[in-house]
Amino acid sequence: MRIFALNGTKALGRTIADHVGVALAEHEERDFEGGEHKARPLVSVRGEDVYLIHTLNGAPDESANDKLCKLLFFAATCRENGASRVTVVTPYLAYSRKDRQTKARDPVTTRYVAQLFEAVGVNTVVTLDVHNLSAFQNAFRCCTVHLNTRRLFSETIARLAGSEPVLIFSPDAGGIKRAQLLKESYELLSGNEAQLGIMEKRRSRGVVSGHLFAGDVQDAVVFVVDDMIGTGGTMLRAAEACRERGAKTVYVLAAHGLFDRGVEAVLAHPAIDRTIVTDSASPFHVSEDILRSCVEIIPSAPLFGEAIRRLHSGGSIAALSGDDD
């Protein structure tokens, strides 16, 4: 087995490799004038089961496109040099939001990204909490492994809520299934019943509208759940609506803290008691003060490490994801 972590995901990759029980394999990355790039393994990959770790969120010094291109090229060179199998582990998968046409002549970029991975010979793609699971699974022809945060977040909800009444809240209709599954996971873990809530949201040409609200949040500990936080506007809108209707406490949960420009004001907003994310998009590009005071980070490395271990040994991924009946 060889595990590589590309630059920008080294810290997370090292922690994942530690959970597998192997050291990261050495590699070289070089940037050239004009923006071109070269990467190569510094150890033999011939006949090896290779795992490539790289999260694909954009950063101030490197766009999602840059990261995607580098990951594709590194996967291709591992194949070129005789790897028996190449598995891409991308905690945050770029372009998973663009999974359908919402306007005339729109791209379906999720499918195009899938075709790129397949074209360079990737055997398996492993990721966490994609925007739309059905679209993700239908886009790829190679093997896919979708991990979820339900167990991680259920434990967090049980710890933060204690014996208080819990309501799991979706900030839009598209996330109601995610909220429902988290509710069921929390109830199974804790033995306590939780309620479900939802808010209407429509977005067209950058304008958000919709005011329908369902759920009794009065005196409840509310957990607003989504797959990612970019600018944070959707989550703040839901948090404020819950506060106006008497919520006792409001926490925000998301697998991916992308934390785009302007998010610091949302993270520090009094309507939100705390924002809870995994480290799938780390390192985070917000101030240390905000991270310490407003954000709780749940480690994802044990989940990814166990997934790699099971993929390598032929263990059950369904059992790991909680999908095994």
Q: What percent of the chain has pLDDT over 70?
A: 96
Q: What percent of the chain has pLDDT over 90?
A: 85
The mean per-residue pLDDT over the stretch 82-97 comes to 96
Largest CA distance in the chain: 61
On the question of pLDDT at 325 being above 60, the answer is no
Together in a domain, 161 and 121 = no
On the question of pLDDT at 204 being above 70, the answer is no
Together in a domain, 233 and 193 = yes
End-to-end, the C-alpha distance of the chain in Å comes to 30
Give the span between the Cα atoms of 112 and 287, in whole angstroms. Answer: 34
Together in a domain, 206 and 282 = yes
According to DSSP, residue 141 is labeled S
At residue 200, the pLDDT reads: 82
Give 40-61 pLDDT, tens digit per residue: 999 999 999 999 999 999 988 8
Give 107-132 pLDDT, tens digit per residue: 999 999 999 999 999 999 999 999 89
- The residue segments making up the domain with residue 129 are 2-149+302-321
Give the span between the Cα atoms of 86 and 119, in whole angstroms. Answer: 12
At residue 183, the pLDDT reads: 97
> Do 49 and 78 contact (CB within 8 A), yes or no?
no
The mean per-residue pLDDT over the stretch 241-250 comes to 96
Residue 324's pLDDT band (boundaries 50, 70, 90)? low
Distance of CA 91 to the CA centre of its chain: 6
At residue 61, the pLDDT reads: 85
DSSP 195-225: EEEEE--EEETTEEE---EES--TT-EEEEE
Among positive and negative, which fits the CA dihedral 306, 309, 312, 314?
negative
At residue 322, the pLDDT reads: 66
On the question of pLDDT at 276 being above 70, the answer is yes
At residue 66, the pLDDT reads: 95
The mean per-residue pLDDT over the stretch 69-92 comes to 98
| Closest C-alpha among 185, 169, 267 to residue 226 | 169
Give the span between the Cα atoms of 90 and 213, in whole angstroms. Answer: 35
At residue 212, the pLDDT reads: 87
Helices (H), the chain: 10-20, 64-80, 109-119, 133-139, 150-161, 176-190, 233-244, 263-267, 288-294, 301-313, 317-321
Together in a domain, 200 and 312 = no
Together in a domain, 162 and 174 = yes
Residue type, 193: E
H or E segment and range at residue 87? strand 85-89
Together in a domain, 103 and 15 = yes
Together in a domain, 105 and 214 = no
Domain count for the chain, please give it.
Answer: 2
Looking up residue 194, the CATH number of its domain turns out to be 3.40.50.2020
> Do 160 and 215 contact (CB within 8 A), yes or no?
no
The mean per-residue pLDDT over the stretch 252-264 comes to 95
Mean of per-residue pLDDT scores for the chain: 93
Report the 10 Å Cβ neighbour count for 87.
24
> Do 144 and 125 contact (CB within 8 A), yes or no?
yes
Together in a domain, 155 and 145 = no
The pTM of this model reads 0.93
> Do 316 and 294 contact (CB within 8 A), yes or no?
no
| Dihedral of the alpha carbons of 129, 132, 135, 140, in degrees to the nearest 10 | -10
Residue 294's pLDDT band (boundaries 50, 70, 90)? very high
Give the span between the Cα atoms of 312 and 201, in whole angstroms. Answer: 42
Together in a domain, 230 and 105 = no
At residue 94, the pLDDT reads: 95
Give 133-142 pLDDT, tens digit per residue: 899 999 999 9
Give the span between the Cα atoms of 188 and 201, in whole angstroms. Answer: 29
Together in a domain, 214 and 97 = no
Together in a domain, 29 and 128 = yes
Residue 203's pLDDT band (boundaries 50, 70, 90)? low
Task: Find the range with the poorest average confidence among 34-38, 202-206, 228-232, 234-238.
Answer: 202-206
Together in a domain, 19 and 136 = yes
